[in-house]
Structure 1
Amino acid sequence: MRHTVKAILHEMGDSSSLIEVQPVHGGDISQAFEVRTEQDHYFVKINRNAAPDIFQKEADGLQQLRQAGALSVPQVYHVSPAGADHGYIVMEWVPREPASDSEARLGRGLAQLHQYTHTHYGLAEDNYIGKLPQPNGWQTSWPRFLREKRLGYQAKLAEEKGRLPAPRKARLEKLLDRLEQWVPDHQQPVMLHGDLWSGNWLAGPNGEPYLIDPAVFYGDREFELAFTELFGGFSPRFYAAYRDVQPLSDYYEDVRPLYQLYYLLVHLNLFGESYGPAVDRILRHYVG
């Protein structure tokens, strides 16, 4: 692997001596490394089997978050070119320095990100959620976008993978037909990180929160908050700081499980039937 890393850095323009290559654990999709050369200190991700543009889409998402200016993101130095034998992305190494107020700063920063608005829901280009395609395009209707580009698309993938048995499929189709019953169509489209679980942020120098591994699009801000609650990992300080900037809507508790359904379908498609019972519980909650 040192040879591969050295070749990547050489292509990027760093031909200095390689001092250290250490695996970084925690990701489900790619191999990741902390890399130190005589010239600089990097974070490198490599994937020989991913879609050829997956790292370019990651770099694009980080740039969009950077432009919003609400939270820090790592600087991207280099992305594998089209036609490369394997995909890779090289970023700055962000040293971990958590502070007692890091989560509160993350909450405030996320609320500020959710003030970066657009006139439509979605995104100009498709991207990825994990290693799965995430179709976008622009829509003027949030329920329609959610139906066609999020829940409906993941349902199609699940059926192709044999993970949508007849009762689950029937309930999901019923839910999609009645989506407007629960999902509001008046929320301002705002920039979302799109895949914000506890592993997709870190506390950098001086406790500064950084966002990583985005799946950016514009949607209802509470779609993002619902996912943060799905698997836990965020403290009450995070939510209190968020609400200080942006209080939650009156309908949030009613729509939260439905918003979480998208991410459970993603996990069903990525990791298998162990997520099926959670999908079924939400479907029964809404449509019986």
Structure 2
Amino acid sequence: MELFIRETLEKVNDTSTVRSIKPVSGGDINQSFYVETDRRPYFIKINEKVASHFFQAEAEGLRLIKETGAIRVPDVYHYDCPDGDEKAALVMEWIENGSSDASRSLGKSLAHMHQHTSEEYGYGKPTFVGELNQPNEWCPAWTEYYRRYRLVGQLETGTAIGTISGLREERLKKLIDRIEEFIPENPKASLLHGDLWGGNWMTTRDGEPVLIDPSILYGDHAFELAFTELFGGFPANFLDQYNTYFELPEDYQDTKPIYQLFYLLVHLNIFGEMYGPQVDRILKNYVG
């Protein structure tokens, strides 16, 4: 691994002395390392047997968020597009984690990021949610995108691997057919991080919020906010601060479970039946 890291550093024209290579926690999908050279410290993710766009999707998402100027993300120095089973790396800026309360900054900055919009919904390239491939296309209506590329995608994955069947499958198909009853057709198409749980943001030592590991799309900002409430990891007054700069729709509490359903289906399809009861409860509440 050390040889591969040194070869990767050469791709960013850093041939200086490597002082330190230390494994760090960075999720279950990649191997992650703190690497310090005479030039600078790096955060490097490494994987193998992944799709050629695996790290490209993350890098492009970080670039789009950075271009808004609304919130900080790590700078990307290099990413590989692997062919076959070869190793691939994503080389990024190392950001020291801090412990300051960034709730005011996070809410404000995310609200400003969501003000950057598109004329259509979705995204023109496939991305990933966790380790699952996330197909994307541009759609003229949010309901069309959410149905075809979010709920139907997870339905097809779940029926293929056996996590969605029987009454659960029947209810999910019914909800998909009736999705226009539950979410808006044409909300503002905001730039969304797409996978914003508590582990995908951090605070610098100066108290500045930073977003990491995006799975970007353009869609209803309530979709993003609903996920922040699903598994915790956000300051208590985060939503209040957000709402000051970008007001949530009046029916947010009604649509929130429909948006959380997508992420629960993802977790059901990755981790198994422990997420089944939450999926079933939402489906029963909405379609009986």
Same fold (TM over 0.5): yes
TM-score band w.r.t. shorter chain: over 0.9
Which amino acid is 2:286 matched to?
Y
How much does 1:258 deviate?
A: 0.6
What SS is found at the alignment partner of 2:280? helix
Distance in 1 of aligned mates of 2:112 and 2:44? 29
| Structure 1 residue 211 displacement after superposition | 0.7
| Number of aligned residue pairs | 287
Measured on the aligned residues, the alpha-carbon RMSD in Å equals 1.3
**Which residue is equivalent to 1:194?**
194
Comparing 173-182 and 46-55, the one that deviates more: 46-55
Q: Does the Cα contact within 8 Å between 1:24 and 1:32 map onto a contact in 2?
A: yes
Asked if the contact 1:50/1:131 (under 8 Å) is kept, the reply is no
Letter in 1 for 2:60: D
Structure 1: where are the runs of 5+ without partners?
A: none
Q: C-alpha distance in 2, partners of 1:14/1:4? A: 13
Identity percentage over the alignment? 45
Q: Which residue of 1 aligns with 2:38?
A: 38
Amino acid at match of 2:93: E
Q: Distance in 1 between matches of 2:223 and 2:4?
A: 39
Aligned residue number for residue 237 of structure 2: 237
Structure-to-structure mapping, 1:102-121, within 5 angstroms: 102-121=102-121
Per-residue CA deviations over 1:68-115 (Å, capped at 9, x if unaligned) read 111011000011144371121000101112323x12101111111111
Residue in 2 aligned with 1:218?
218
Match of residue 94 from structure 2: 93
Q: In the aligned structure 2, how far is the partner of 1:126 from the partner of 1:4?
A: 27
Larger mean CA deviation between 233-242 and 191-200 belongs to 233-242
Q: After superposition, what is the alpha-carbon deviation per residue over 1:147-173, rounded to whole angstroms, capped at 9, x for unaligned?
A: 101011111011111111211100000
CA deviation after TM superposition for structure 1 residue 50, in Å: 2.2
Number of the residue aligned with 1:148: 148
Output the CA distance in 1 between the equivalents of 2:183 and 2:153.
17
What's the TM-score once normalised by structure 2's chain length?
A: 0.96
After the TM superposition, list the runs of 4 or more consecutive aligned residues in structure 1 that deviate by more than 6 angstroms: none
Q: 3-state SS of the aligned residue for 1:91?
A: strand
Q: Which runs of 5+ in 2 are unaligned?
A: none
Partner of 2:184: 184
Asked whether the equivalents of residues 54 and 81 of structure 2 are also in contact (C-alpha less than 8 Å), the reply is no
TM-score (normalised: structure 1): 0.96
1:217-257 deviation digits (Å, cap 9, x = unpaired): 10000000000000011122211110111222111001100
The separation in 2 between residues aligned to 1:221 and 1:28, in whole angstroms, is: 27
Partner SS for 1:255? helix
Residue correspondence of structure 1 range 14-163 to structure 2 within 5 A: 14-83=14-83, 85-100=86-101, 102-163=102-163
Shift of 1:144: 1.2
* Partner SS, residue 163 of structure 1: coil
Match of 1:6 in 2: 6
Give the whole-Å Cα distance in 1 for the aligned partners of 2:150 and 2:81: 29
Does structure 1 conserve the Cα–Cα contact (< 8 Å) formed by 2:100 and 2:205?
A: no
Q: 1:82 and 1:54 mapped to 2: Cα distance?
A: 9
User: C-alpha displacement at 1:270, in angstroms?
Assistant: 1.6
Equivalent residue, structure 1, for 2:166: 166
| Counterpart secondary structure, 2:62 | helix
